[in-house]
Amino acid sequence: MQVIRMSSLAALLLCGLSQVAVAEVRVDGPVEFGIFETSAKDLQPGERVLTRAQQTIHNTDVIPAKLGTKFGIRYTLVNKKADDTPLTLLYLTPGIQSADGRHDKLVVEQKLVVGAPQDVMAYEFSEYSEMAKGEWRFMVFQGDRLLAQKSFTVQ
């Protein structure tokens, strides 16, 4: 009798754990990456480009160091809940120079938007000092779980 109770308890625990694993936020489908298309030309420092949600992305991992260039990744997350652990967007850079010094990484915390069909992690060059040439790595975390990552070479 004791063996039956223990095996029933074990089955319930395994069932509960498998439902927790199924409910985790995860990337569904391909991760788009590259340069976001824009019609803006000859931008000046400090100017930003307003864009629409479904911008075309030119698939590349080589990025020109030019004002107005917006690059990054677009992905679909499933199992999002409004009160869940937010995303951490980690930008590892070759070193951006700014008035307050050199920055080798930028960290952005982003709440999960349940109704959003896609999520974006992007960077737009709006100042000359941001256009650090070399490897840029974009990483999307939820807690300590890596959901997506992509490296770009800025030239």
Please, what is the average pLDDT of the chain? Answer: 85
3-state helix, strand, coil in the chain (%, to 5): 15, 45, 40
For residue 19, the model assigns a pLDDT of 46
Mean pLDDT computed over 72-97: 95
Domain 25-154, CATH among 2.40.50.140, 2.60.40.420, 2.40.160.60, 2.60.40.2390: 2.60.40.2390
The length of the chain in residues reads 155
Residue-wise pLDDT for 49-77, tens only, equals 555 557 899 999 999 999 989 999 999 99
**Encoded tokens for 135:** 């490897």
What residues does 119 pair with on adjacent strands? Answer: 75
Q: Which phi and psi angles does 105 have, rounded to 5°?
A: -150, 150
Amino acid at site 87:
L
**Encoded tokens for 102:** 């050199």
Instruction: Enumerate the domain spans of the chain.
Output: 25-154
pLDDT range class, residue 20, cuts 50, 70, 90: very low
- Whether 5 has a pLDDT exceeding 60, the answer reads no
Residue-wise pLDDT for 32-44, tens only, equals 999 998 766 665 5
